[in-house]
Structure 1
């Protein structure tokens, strides 16, 4: 179970980094759209699409880990949220 928790922690950390990047890109988009500069808009949209795909891949990796953790903890997968998981496991997680 320790390996699953470590992998989950890695995935969540990567998601956090990517969501922060996405926020910056969305801010860039907000400034690029009114200018009508198609090159800037295209660049922002390309970056946004890339990050979205990366986030989707991380989420697809996270879900089976949560499923396995729910089995270890004998909890229904749909009821095992990250908050509940944090309460059930010991430090350092």
Structure 2
């Protein structure tokens, strides 16, 4: 999967579905964002960058672990495919 920076492929793409905007923070509509945040903390991933109509953070699940990218689409749930591709 050619999502990684500098052409380095990632082994896993985790997409945390949710809706952008303050009105959805902490609601059931953003459970995917919350789970992605827990994974990012657990895997010590860097601050996400704006890419692919979403926020992307890349790294490894641990020393020598698989390369992973977390994607938080910044489109509404019904339009998440535009970010995921």
User: The TM-score by the shorter chain falls in which range?
Assistant: 0.3 to 0.5
TM-score, normalising length: structure 1: 0.30
TM-score, normalising length: structure 2: 0.32
The structure number with the bigger radius of gyration is 1
- Structure with bigger helix share is 1
